[in-house]
């Protein structure tokens, strides 16, 4: 299965935020959208990614003053991305090797979606269920 198939099911919407937004603003957005990471964009395109883990780590280090600081202070600038043509298997490897749970999808340099580790697990479960149904049908047909 390809990333494009995953996006066909879940849609291409990506929650984004600007680097100037405060960490408090980021927390509001994460809560409103019920997600764990946001892609950071500027007029030039994707400039980073920031996840709940970044907030937790920085909050532990810096305390409550962090909440008024801009997202750019805690985001990761070297963003690991994939393309719609990539396979879900290669994305799984990418997530494991880079220890990330969210990977933005880029097509011709533009944001075309985002895939989380939850989406990967859901896709795998559906594949396994379909395989099981096929096997059961094969066995009962004799
Ligand atoms: P996550 O596992 O997505 O919660 O993120 C864990 C750490 O990896 C955080 O420091 C994130 O900023 C960073 N991170 C998450 N996704 C990516 C990505 N696609 N590329 C680079 N870093 C990422």
What's the CATH superfamily of 3-141? CBS-domain (3.10.580.10)
Looking at the DSSP bridge assignments, the partners of residue 39 are: 16, 49
- The full set of domain ranges for the chain reads 3-141
8 Å CB contact between 45 and 109: yes
Ligand 1 center–CA 9 separation, angstroms? 23
Q: Could you tell me which of 14, 11, 30 has the C-alpha nearest to residue 22?
A: 30
Of all atoms in ligand 1, which is nearest to the CA of residue 37? 3
Identify which of 38, 46, 47, 49 to mutate to test ligand 1's pocket (most ligand atoms within 8 A of the CB): 49
Burial of 64 (0-12, 13-18, 19+ CB in 10 A): exposed
User: What pTM was computed for the model?
Assistant: 0.91
pLDDT in tens, the chain (142 residues): 999 999 998 899 999 999 999 999 999 999 999 999 999 999 989 999 999 999 999 999 999 999 999 999 999 999 999 999 999 999 999 999 999 999 999 999 999 999 999 999 999 899 899 899 999 998 887 6
Whole-angstrom distance, CA of residue 33 vs CA of residue 142: 48
């Amino acid at each position: 299965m390809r990333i494009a198939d995953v996006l066909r099911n879940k849609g291409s919407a990506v929650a984004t935020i600007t680097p100037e937004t405060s960490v408090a603003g980021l927390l509001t957005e994460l809560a409103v959208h019920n997600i764990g990471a946001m892609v950071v964009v500027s007029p030039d395109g994707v400039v980073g990614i920031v996840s709940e883990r970044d907030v937790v780590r920085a909050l532990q280090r810096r305390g409550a003053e962090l909440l008024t600081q801009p997202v750019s202070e805690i985001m990761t600038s070297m963003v690991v991305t994939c393309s719609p043509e990539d396979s879900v298997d290669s994305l799984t490897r990418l997530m494991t090797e880079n220890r990330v749970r969210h990977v933005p999808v880029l097509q011709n340099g533009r944001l075309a979606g985002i895939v989380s580790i939850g989406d990967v697990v859901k896709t795998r479960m559906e594949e396994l269920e379909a395989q099981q149904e096929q096997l059961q049908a094969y066995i009962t047909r004799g």
